[in-house]
């Protein structure tokens, strides 16, 4: 019997239980329970698009940890490199409260969590020469020294193996200061082949934070980063390489929930990269997966399968029978 193929992509980070309030928390609004975490969102997105993907991390030995593993397994994400914490650290928690219009507040309860104690030895066994992409974000290093070391070690090992490293800056002001982020993310970004950032995050990974966007991107390319992907929300995205810059608009859909859209975008972009598509087609797929995310509630629940990708090209009002 042929052994099952290993993952094409490994994502590293913390997954949390997510409580989404349906109204004001102080008025005891009901809450919906789900799972959240940028790297897990990307893993689910890639799996739904037909790719073999593993999420590596650490879960608490509690009901929330069980929920995370059960959810990822159901989404056909490999969790064989997830360590269950045995030192009493709980699974992290995210609480979301929607406000007026599309304003949302997210609070984290992840200090001392199992995910914050992820170690290099938890991650490195997931990386071998069969892996094509390692996906990291700037969130995990913010969780603590051990997590930061794990991410840096994974990036270093991936470079040694010739694995493409994708880093999404994904700055979270509630987790660390801009200066703390810069001190860690500046050297980490130099290990990336593909760098994803919003325009207002470039100062965190630029040698000279005062550079404007064009000069900052040019400097990053000069450091050897292969692709600099700039996300602009509803204004689309661009990809800069040494061969020039390609831009693409966002796809227009009714917006229900923007949280998780960036992770969906990254999943679509990496999916197209794995399929060998050019930059324009990568941006198109990324914009499409991002559109599915914002058109539905939840961080990952509305992410498309490969068969779903063409649905946005259907005429308005189409009914599938």
pLDDT of residue 134: 98
Residue 55, strand partner residues: 11
Q: Give the pTM.
A: 0.94
d(CA 60, CA 90): 5
Token digits of residue 58? 């650490």
Determine if residue 103 is left, alpha or beta; phi over 0 gives left, psi from -120 to 50 gives alpha, anything else beta: beta
The residues pairing with 107 across neighbouring beta strands, listed in sequence order, are 95
pLDDT of residue 314: 66
Active site residue 128: no
Out of 98, 257, 263, 299, the active site residue is 263
Q: Are 238 and 246 in contact (CB under 8 A)?
A: yes
Q: Closest by alpha carbon to 136, among 160, 166, 115? A: 166
Q: How does DSSP classify residue 181? A: H
CA distance 158 to 12: 12
Q: Which residue has the tokens 């995910």?
A: 115
Q: How far apart are CA 114 and CA 129, in angstroms?
A: 28
Instruction: Compute the distance between CA of residue 227 and CA of residue 192 in angstroms, rounded to an integer.
Output: 9
Q: Report the run of H or E that residue 182 belongs to, with start and end.
A: helix 178-189
Rounded CA-CA distance 95/25 in Å is 10
Put residue 276 in one of left, alpha, beta given phi > 0 → left and psi -120 to 50 → alpha.
Answer: left
CATH class of 10-302: alpha beta
pLDDT along the chain (321 residues), means of 10: 77 96 91 96 98 97 97 97 95 89 84 95 93 98 96 97 97 94 96 96 94 95 97 93 94 87 97 97 96 90 94 67 56
The confidence score (pLDDT) of residue 225 equals 97
Distance between CA atoms of 255 and 233, rounded to whole angstroms?
12
Positive/negative CA dihedral, 13, 84, 180, 222: negative
Residue 315 is predicted with a pLDDT of 65
3 state DSSP class of 262: helix
| Pairing status of strand 82-84 against strand 164-168 | unpaired
* Token couple for 67: 């929920």
Phi, psi of 289 (to 5 degrees): -65, -35
**Domain boundaries defined on the chain:** 10-302
CA atoms within 13 A on the CB side of 126: 33
CA 83 – CA 160 distance, rounded (Å): 24
């Amino acid at each position: 019997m042929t052994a099952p193929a290993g993952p094409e992509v490994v994502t590293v980070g913390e997954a949390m239980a997510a409580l989404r309030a349906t109204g004001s928390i102080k008025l005891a609004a009901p809450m919906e329970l789900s799972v959240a975490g940028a790297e897990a969102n990307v893993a689910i997105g890639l799996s739904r698009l037909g790719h073999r993907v593993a999420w590596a991390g650490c879960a608490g030995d509690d009901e929330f940890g069980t929920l995370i593993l059960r959810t990822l397994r159901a989404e056909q994400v490999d969790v064989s490199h997830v360590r269950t914490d045995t030192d009493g650290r709980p699974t992290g928690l995210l609480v979301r409260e929607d406000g007026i219009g599309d304003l949302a507040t997210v609070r984290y309860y992840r200090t001392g969590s199992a995910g914050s104690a992820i170690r290099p030895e938890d991650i490195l066994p997931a990386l071998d020469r069969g892996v094509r992409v390692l996906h990291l974000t700037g969130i995990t290093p913010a969780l603590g020294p051990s997590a930061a070391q794990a991410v840096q070690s994974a990036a270093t090992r991936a470079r040694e193996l010739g694995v493409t490293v994708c880093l999404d800056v994904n700055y979270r002001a509630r987790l660390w200061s801009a200066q703390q982020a810069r001190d860690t993310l500046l050297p980490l970004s130099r290990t990336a082949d593909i760098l994803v950032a919003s325009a207002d995050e470039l100062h965190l990974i630029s040698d000279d934070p005062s550079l404007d966007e064009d000069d900052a991107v040019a400097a990053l390319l000069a450091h050897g980063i292969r692709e600099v992907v700039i996300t602009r929300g509803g204004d689309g995205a661009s990809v800069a390489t040494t061969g020039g810059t390609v831009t693409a608009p966002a796809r227009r859909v009714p917006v229900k929930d923007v949280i998780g859209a960036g992770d969906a975008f990254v999943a679509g972009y990496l999916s197209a990269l794995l399929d060998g598509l050019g930059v324009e087609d990568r941006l198109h797929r990324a914009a499409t997966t991002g559109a599915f995310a914002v058109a539905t509630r939840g961080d990952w629940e509305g992410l498309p399968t490969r068969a779903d990708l063409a649905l946005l090209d259907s005429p308005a009002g189409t009914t599938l029978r």
